Structure formats: C-alpha cells, structure tokens
Structure 1
Amino acid sequence: MAAVESALFEHATSPSPYVTEAARHLLSAGGKRFRPLLVLLAAEAGPHADASEVLTAACVVEITHVGSLYHDDVMDEAALRRGADSANSRWDNHVAILTGDWLFAKSSELTAQLGPDAVRIQAETFTRLVEGQILEGVVPEGDPLQHYLAVVAGKTGSLIATSARYGARFGGASREVEGALTAYGEIVGSAFQLSDDILDIASDSEESGKTPGTDLREGVPTLPVLMAQASTDPADARLLELLAGDLTDDARHAEALALLRVHPALAQARAYVVDQAQRAKALLEVLPAGSVRQALEDFADVVALRTA
C-alpha cells in the first residue's frame, strides 16, 4: 500500500502546477484506499502478486474512484470532502468537473498499459458506475428498495468488483478464481455502501467521525430508511410522516433519527449487510484454506461490521 500511495501521487502529476495541485487535492485528503487494497489482496490468490501490473491496476481503480468524487461533490454541492474543502469549494465547479475528467483520462492511460482486455473491463465498469449515478436521481418506477440496491451495485459495487477482478487477473489466478473474486467484490462493494447507510443512522460521531443523520437530513434514501418506509405498522405513522417531510428542521430531524435508531428496520438493515458478507465469503471456497482466503474473509467481515 505504501508503493500504491507513492505511485498515486506520481500519476497525479501534470506539467502544469495548477492542474497537479487540483488533481492531488482529494488524494491528499486521504481516504480508506479500499479499492487498491482489494486489488492487492486479490492478487495474493495468484502466483504473481508482486507483478508490476498489480500496482498499476491498484492505481487505476483508486484514480477512477477519486475522479468520481470530484463530480459527486459538484452534484451534491458539497463544501467538504474527507474533512477538507471540496474542489468545487476550493476552486469552482468548472475546475472540479474538469479535474475529475483529467483523472478519468489518467486512469484510462494507465489502463491502456494493462492491455486491450483491461480497457474493455474498465469501459464496462465506468458505464455501470455512471449509470448508477444517473439512476440515483431518478424516481423509481417499481420497488424503491430494489431500485436503490441497483444504484448501489452500479455506483459502488461495479468498481470494487473490478478491483478484485484486476487483482486476481494480474496476480495470475485462474479464471475460476477470477470469476469468484469478481462476484465477491461486487457483493462486498455494495455492502460497503450499505454499511455506510447504517452508520448514518446508528453511529456515534466521536467513534465514526461522521455526523449522524447527514443523509437523513438531505433526504437521501438509504437502506434503513427504505426498509422503515416499507412498514405497514400503524405504530410507525409518526416516523413515516417525518420521513415523508422536510428533515432540515433540527427538531424534526432529531425526532426522526431517534425513532429510526430504535426501529426494527435498523436491525433488519444490519442483518441484510451481514448476510451479504456471508454470501461473499461463500464464494471464496474456490480458494484453498490459508492466509489469503482468511484475509479476504476478514475483509468482508470488516466491511459488514465496521464502525467508521
């Protein structure tokens, strides 16, 4: 991961100091580096975990992810990202959008080094990622929960699935293992976002570093909220009334948050995410027992049970 971190900043370098500063802005703000870590872990399933292509692939997925954050912040009109000024706040929307585009271009350059099949995989992944972002703002035609899960699979699951796929492929794993780890990454990736949903309701701000109920205040649909809204219990009438209204008011927001924290939907959401982690772990049966499989199993558990 130290090698990945160094390489990320090398790749986010332009002949223009201005572009370099903008491109490195969110990289410097930190992050979990969840995607490149999964590339490196998945590569351990093959005989060539130290191949240079593995490092390149790790940079591809993280630069793609960071590029998407620049666009996300413009769409969300966010003032902060990872505790730092967002690029749109530090500069303006035009600079933020174009910097995101520059990072996408840089990830494409790196992907080209991995060969034409990797270019195809990256293009397919990016199609799903952007489609998920588009659908996030569309009113569901059918079941709101199923629509939301499809959005999460596209926006988050797709790139994390590709992270595992790249790691397995460039680490030299068999196609059977690559397929299993791709499916594992898709499930774990979606679970990563869904566990964020639970943290938004249940977290203590000191423990998680997040402000509880941020998505709730902004009216962003999340797993516990959607599960609560599916309730037909008359006892939930007040909660449903609050969720259907404006939660920017502090008193209404605090009341809705308190009701959600004791609602069965929160436990239901936790159980769903834990079940997803179990599904992901079952896919690892193609790997021999040992440290690699154990690390990937632990990785799925951490995603499902994380508190930050």
Structure 2
Amino acid sequence: MSSLAIDDSALAEVLQPRLALVEERLRDAVAQSDTLADATSRHLVDAGGKRLRPMLVLLCAQLGDGARPEVLDAAVVVELTHLATLYHDDVMDSAPTRRGAPAAHEVWGNSVAILTGDLLFARASRVVAGLGPQAVRIQAETFERLCLGQLHETVGAAEGDDPVDFYLQVLADKTASLIATSARFGAMFGGCPVGVVDQVTSYGEYAGVAFQLADDVIDVRSDAATTGKTPGTDLREGVPTMPVLLLRRRVAAGGPGVEADRALLEAIDGDLSDDAVLADVVARLAAHPVVDETAALAREWASRAAQAIAPLPEGDVKAALVAFSEALVARAA
C-alpha cells in the first residue's frame, strides 16, 4: 500500500519518532517464548512494510491529542491484525512471496502459517483489551468483517447478485474495514469529538476500497520487484478482480470486439499454472480497457474519501489525508 504523504516537516518530525515507538512495541508484541513461534511470528515483521495502518492511527490522533499513550497501543493493534491476515491470505492465495520475501507457508507449510496468523490475532486481542470495552467491540466487529470479506470472496456471489456490487462489498469488508478502524482508533484515542471520529472512519472506508481497486490494476500492470507480489496471482487462483468482472460484463453484453473479449476471458478461465501462459494472459489483460475502467473507479472512491473529510479544519493533518487518497490513485496510473 502506498505510504502516507507527510509533506509538512513539523508534522513529520512529530510522527516519525512515534512510529519508531510503534515499531519497537510491535516487535515486542510478536516475540514468543517458543523458538518456532518466535521465528514464524517475526517473519513478516522483519520483512518490513510501510506501516500504513499504524501511521494512519498516529496521523488521525493529531486531530486531537496525539501524545496520549493509548494511541501507540491502538497503532500496534491494527498492525498486528493486518499482519495476521497476511499469513492467512497468502495460504488461501498460494502466494509464493510477500514483501519480497518467501511467504510463511512456503517456509513452514500451510498449517504453521495459519496458526501463526492465529497467534498474532491473539496478541492483538491482548493489546486491545487494555484499551477498554469499546475498543474490544470495535476490534471484534472489524475482525468479523475481515472474515466475512474473505469468506464471500472465496464462495463468490449468489445467483441474482450483481457481481460488481458484490465485489465492492467484499473489498469494503476485507480491506477497507481495518483501514477505517485505524483512522477511527486514531481520532477516538486522540480524544476527538464524535463527529470527527465519524468523518475519518468514513474516509478510511472509502480509501480502503480505492486502495484495493488500485491494487487490482497493479496486479496486472506492475512486477514482483516493485510490489513484492507475483503479478497475476489473483488470476492464477481464480480470484475475481474488478478488471475480470468488467470483462465478463462486456462479454455478456455482446457488441463490438466481443469475440476478442471472449477469447481473453477463456484464457483467464483456463489453466494458468504455467508461468509463461500466465505472463501472456496478464499482458493481454493489462492492455485491455477494463483495466483503465478499474483505475477510474479507484479515482472515484478516492474522491469520496477526500470528500468525507472535507468538513475537517484545514491544516497539515487534513492535507496529509487528502494527499494519501490522491497517492492511492497515482500508483495505479
């Protein structure tokens, strides 16, 4: 995920030391007395990452009192939760790499990777318990949405459901829910008024959908060296993404170019186990207008994110949030 753009030097000077504290606490939180569990739990932490979610917590807390100690714990909670989902997602997607390193299941096997994700969820629960009942409830609701998003993505839309609308709800649950909670925790534990908390929560929800739509574009128009993820992973695993859903809609509607579209769709639905075949299909899809349409949808959702925080007072925090929503779109250009 694209990092938050903090152009204001004074704000950056405040946030960077606090992010360093979050990183320190994060490593303490994943440490295990068991040697194997310690190695597996540290695997993705050591692989790095932009720490977008904890940074979003810290940033939104600056709308109130960002120095409150609860803010740091909230930042650790959302990153632990995010890391836990990555262990599970990589197993379900059979992704060979994550953040430029071998995925945990490639090193230790599926069962160990899944159990490690569970361990991290448990650690996140321990930390959030110290933040009070409301935080525990929010964390539980977020975890529920994460699971539902993954479940619905796995099972697919029911007969009669609009596949595009269904997919957008999957994105809202699977990706946007935790980003929204990150913004919410920041404002909430920064002591902001309820109205501000609601505004940044909506911002996170819209930005999360925009991010995943942009990711759908990047999946076919980028490379592993840039993203740390094998291009076409979702295609190979048969995971529906917005470009493919829009292509299916085109084929169903008929019209000019439908034969070429149908041929591409048949290739997507075919055997993509061979790397050369996958690369060819990815290249063909990358050149198709449905990817541009997906990028346009990402811009639309990013615009909604910016509009959600329009009532916030002008300042460095609001500027950074707006810049981030714009950066989501730019990375999929």
Q: TM-score range by the shorter chain?
A: over 0.9
Q: Structure 2 CA distance, aligned partners of 1:25 and 1:139? A: 31
Higher normalized contact order (CA 8 Å, seq sep 6+, divided by chain length): 2
Comparing 174-183 and 234-243, the one that deviates more: 234-243
Identity, % of aligned positions: 51
Query: Which residue number corresponds to residue 98 of structure 1?
Result: 115
User: Given the superposition, is the C-alpha separation of residues 73 and 240 from structure 1 closer, same or farther in structure 2, using an over 3 Å criterion?
Assistant: closer
- 2:27 pairs with one of 6, 9, 19: 9
How far the C-alpha of 1:287 sits from its partner, in A, is 0.9
2:184 is the counterpart of 1:165? yes
- 1:233 pairs with one of 255, 266, 278: 255
Q: Structure 1 CA distance, aligned partners of 2:243 and 2:91? A: 26
Query: Which residue number corresponds to residue 104 of structure 2?
Result: 87
1:45 and 1:171 in contact (8 A); partners too = yes
TM-score (norm. length: structure 2): 0.86
How far the C-alpha of 1:307 sits from its partner, in A, is 5.3
Query: Which residue number corresponds to residue 300 of structure 1?
Result: 325
2:214 and 2:328 in contact (8 A); partners too = yes
Runs in 1 of length 4+ with deviation above 6 angstroms?
none
1:203 and 1:210 in contact (8 A); partners too = no
Structure 2: gaps (5+ residues): 1-18
Task: Give SS of 1:220's match.
Answer: coil
TM-score (norm. length: structure 1): 0.93
How far the C-alpha of 1:32 sits from its partner, in A, is 2.1
Q: Structure 2 CA distance, aligned partners of 1:161 and 1:86? A: 26
Matches within 5 A, 1:1-308: 1-46=19-64, 48-141=65-158, 142-204=161-223, 207-231=226-250, 232-235=254-257, 236-250=261-275, 252-306=277-331
1:96-131 CA-partner distances (Å, limit 9, x unpaired): 222211111111111111110000100111011111
User: Given the superposition, is the C-alpha separation of residues 2 and 176 from structure 1 closer, same or farther in structure 2, using an over 3 Å criterion?
Assistant: same
Q: Structure 1 CA distance, aligned partners of 2:101 and 2:149? A: 26
2:95 and 2:229 in contact (8 A); partners too = no
Q: Structure 2 CA distance, aligned partners of 1:212 and 1:164? A: 30
2:202 and 2:308 in contact (8 A); partners too = yes
RMSD after superposition: 1.9
1:204-241 CA-partner distances (Å, limit 9, x unpaired): 55554544333223322111121122113341232233
1:229-274 CA-partner distances (Å, limit 9, x unpaired): 2113341232233233333345653443333223221111111101
